[in-house]
Amino acid sequence: MALWGGRFSRSTADDVFALSRSIHFDWKLAPYDIRSSLAHLYILESAALISESNARKIRLALKELNQEVASGSFLPLPEDEDVHSALERGLVEKLGEIGGALRAGRSRYDQVATDLRLFALDHMTNLAHLLSALSRTLLGKAADYVDSPAPGFTHLQHAQPIIFAHELSKHAHALNRDVDRIKDWYERTNFSPLGSGALSGSSLPLDPATSAALLGFAAPIANSIDAVSDRDFVAEALFIMALVGSHLSRMGEEWCLWASTEFAWAHLDDAFSTGSSIMPQKKNPDIAELARGKAGRLIGNLTAVLAMLKGLPFAYNRDLQEDKEPLFDSFETLELILPAFTGMVATTKFDKVKMLAGADSGFSLATEIADFLVRAGVPFANAHEAAGKCVHACETQGKKLHELSDAEFAAIHSELSPKVRDVLTVEGAVKSRSTVNGTAPSSVFTQISILTSKIDQDDQWITDKSASFSGMMGL
């Protein structure tokens, strides 16, 4: 059903209608559109612009429509342009011409901006929940490896031994920052465009503060031109999701490496890996690879919206319709990958023996020699030089650091007494790194419990927001 046409003498060309249509992607806004219509109806009724009896009929019809949309018995038709016109058709089919009464004081510009904010707030809350679930799973897995040393890397070369729990839980910290970003975004986004009309507000005695409150928004957006034109919340949400994608891609890359035959640290569960159609022996980390690959489209969606917004005149322009597909796609992508990724993490088993065996290779204890000398009063530059000479002596003779003789140590530096061998064990090295953020098992244990309490608080926030959303307007 067209929502305009009075001043036109010919109908839209088919090709134009095909280009203009958004129903095939914006139908997912239907429940949010009905919510915002209920709030708008309340405002019109309060201002005596719709009679009480008509308002009752429209309210009932909207609630019926809501159920029919949910059950799939009300569907868009090929001639519906967008979600707003399809739902208005639904109301007119039920009520005749009073179905059109909701158009008073509202344009599709404030309507679509309101619907999209509600959609984004709802889905971002769910995303925070999925991220917290993955963080918890990582921390739960980390707890199994608090006493398990492994090589730590820089430049993908053995650097210093670490506790494997430290390695796993670092990802939970990154994901928790994403949750913080969502909470921060939420507070900035939770304002209502409804009541802004096409761009200049309304000459009707409407009260945008009431419709904002009914929809769970903190307040109306202060400037009506900004309200209908602003898509910062879309760009920011897409940035957060692009960064989540980047975090998942780095995690995915580690899982691929760790599951490789060369590393053989990680054993993937059969239910969370895939085979090859030609090589019967293969067990591939496809979930980790897809997580890594999907970062590309998440970054692309952000780029698409930023490019669309650049230089866009105010107020509404049809370009803004291009905000939806990237936003929907990013949510769908993460809502698909995160549960699978969480399942993969939960079911991966790591080989403690293999990880320990590699922990002191590649002279990863050389820093211990330098720190030993620093404790004996040697300036770090000299200590570093002496430790480097130890590595060089070992390399030329095919020895490990602790295998250098007392005489060889003493020849390299007078402070290198035989006691240096006490620090040349993996267990000693990790245990000594007991700074608050360090890799000592006691430190890692504390880090995990602090982050777990933080996630408990975040989950409370998520529960509160989801409850206020689903309780809204009794729908």
For 4, half-sphere exposure in the C-beta direction (CA atoms, 13 angstrom radius) is 8
Measured from the CB atom, the residue of 26 and 88 that comes closer to ligand ARG is: 26
As given in the structure block, the two tokens for residue 262 are 């060369």
Least distance (Å) between residue 105 CB and ligand ARG: 16
* Least CB distance to ligand ARG at residue 22 (A): 4
Q: Considering the complex, what minimum distance in angstroms separates the CB of residue 178 from ligand ARG? A: 27
What are the E-state strand segments in 166-235? 191-192, 219-220
**Do 325 and 333 meet the contact criterion of CB atoms below 8 Å apart?**
no
Residues that bind ligand ARG in the complex, under the rule CB under 6 A? 22, 26, 82, 108, 112, 318, 320-321
Name the helix (H) or strand (E) containing 266: strand 266-267
Of residues 90 and 151, the one with the C-beta less far from ligand ARG? 90
- Our CB check for ligand ARG shows the closer of 7 and 318 to be 318
**Which CB, 22 or 126, lies closer to ligand ARG?**
22
Q: Using CA of residue 423, residue 427, residue 429, residue 435, what is the dihedral sign? A: negative
Nearest-approach distance from CB 117 to ligand ARG, in angstroms: 13
Task: Give whichever of 127 and 308 is closer to ligand ARG, judged by the CB atom.
Answer: 308
Nearest Cα to 36, choosing from 93, 108, 94?
A: 108
Nearer to ligand ARG, 113 or 215 (CB): 113
Q: Tell which residue, 253, 267, 219, 242, has the closest CA to residue 127.
A: 242
Listed residue (241, 234, 236, 233) closest to 299, CA to CA: 241
Query: Least distance to ligand ARG from the beta carbon of 35, Å?
Result: 17
Dihedral pair phi/psi, residue 161, rounded to 5°: -65, 145
CB of 64 to ligand ARG, least distance (A): 24
Q: Pick the closer one to ligand ARG by CB: 29 or 394.
A: 29
Distance, CA of 383 to CA of 373 (rounded, Å): 6
* φ, ψ dihedrals at 219, nearest 5°: -170, 170
Catalytic, out of 11, 260, 276, 405: 276
Contacts for 473 with CB less than 8 Å, ≥ 6 apart: 35, 38, 39, 214, 215
3-class state of residue 6 by DSSP:
coil
Closer Cβ to ligand ARG, 10 or 318, answer by number:
318
Query: ∠225-228-234 over CA atoms, to 5°?
Result: 125
Sequence-distant (≥ 6) Cβ neighbours of residue 436 within 8 angstroms: 443, 446
Query: Residue 138: left (phi > 0), alpha (psi -120 to 50), or beta?
Result: alpha
- For the question of residue 155 being annotated catalytic, the response is yes
Q: Please say if 402 is a catalytic residue.
A: no
Q: How far is the CB of 26 from ligand ARG (least distance, A)?
A: 6
> In the complex, what is the shortest distance from the CB of residue 43 to ligand ARG, in angstroms, rounded to a whole number?
20
Q: Which of 113, 273, 117 is nearest to 190 (CA)?
A: 117
Catalytic residue of the set 9, 155, 203, 453: 155
Shortest CA distance to 452 belongs to which of 29, 167, 61, 142? Answer: 142
Q: How far apart are CA 472 and CA 470, in angstroms?
A: 5
- In the three-class reduction of DSSP (H, G, I as helix; E, B as strand; rest coil), residue 397 is classed as helix
Active site residues: 155, 276
